[in-house]
Amino acid sequence: MKCPYCGSDQTVKNGKYHDKKTGEIKQEIHCKACGRYPRISIVPQDKPATPSKNQSTKKFIQPSAGISEIEFREKHDNRYILTKKAAALLRGQLVPEPQFIEMCHVRQNAGYKGIVVHPDFEKYRGRAGGTWYWSHPETIKKLKNEGLMT
Ligand SMILES: [Zn+2]
């Protein structure tokens, strides 16, 4: 055992001591290096320090475990993904819908068509010559006003 005062390993056990205040069993040692008799808390042999059930369940609710709701949505919530990507569309730049969907990494078989027709996305979409395009709402509005898009 190491002496807590000087850190020396030159110690001998000097009997166990029961601390009545804390209920702890302490090992008294005699340090040959500094001559002191420190008492060190020890765990009794019959009560090994095993993690209790409470400690192991705590691990599950630590915020560092798992992913956040935002991270979950970024993976699985197609409407969330499209909303975010649509907000990043540039003025004057038109993206054909299949390309836009690909950019969003939304699986095209995952019912995305039901999502893109949502009124929230109306301002980002316009159709010309049978193709749907996505763009900044100002660009879509301008082209619709000019009759180039519907
Ligand atoms: Zn010492």
What is the residue type of 60? F
Beta carbons of 89 and 135 less than 8 angstroms apart:
yes
What is the whole-number distance in angstroms between the Cα of residue 14 and the centre of ligand 1?
Answer: 14
User: Using CA atoms, how far apart are residues 126 and 137, in angstroms rounded to an integer?
Assistant: 10
What's the pLDDT tens digit per position in 26-37?
Answer: 899 999 999 999
Rounded to the nearest whole angstrom, what is the distance from the C-alpha of residue 34 to the centroid of ligand 1? 4
- pLDDT tens per residue across span 73-84: 988 888 899 999
Q: Give me ligand 1 centre to Cα 44, in Å.
A: 24
Q: How far is the CA of 33 from the centre of ligand 1 (A)?
A: 5
Helix segments in the chain, DSSP class H: 53-58, 69-76, 78-87, 97-103, 112-116, 137-145
Averaged pLDDT for residues 37-49? 72
How sure is the predictor about 99, in pLDDT bands with cuts at 50, 70 and 90? very high
How far, in Å, from the CA of 103 to the mean position of ligand 1? 67
Determine the pLDDT at residue 61.
59
pLDDT tens-digit profile of 105-126?
Answer: 877 665 777 888 889 999 999 9
Separation of CA 4 and ligand 1 centre (Å)? 7
Q: How far is it, in rounded angstroms, from Cα 95 to Cα 116?
A: 14
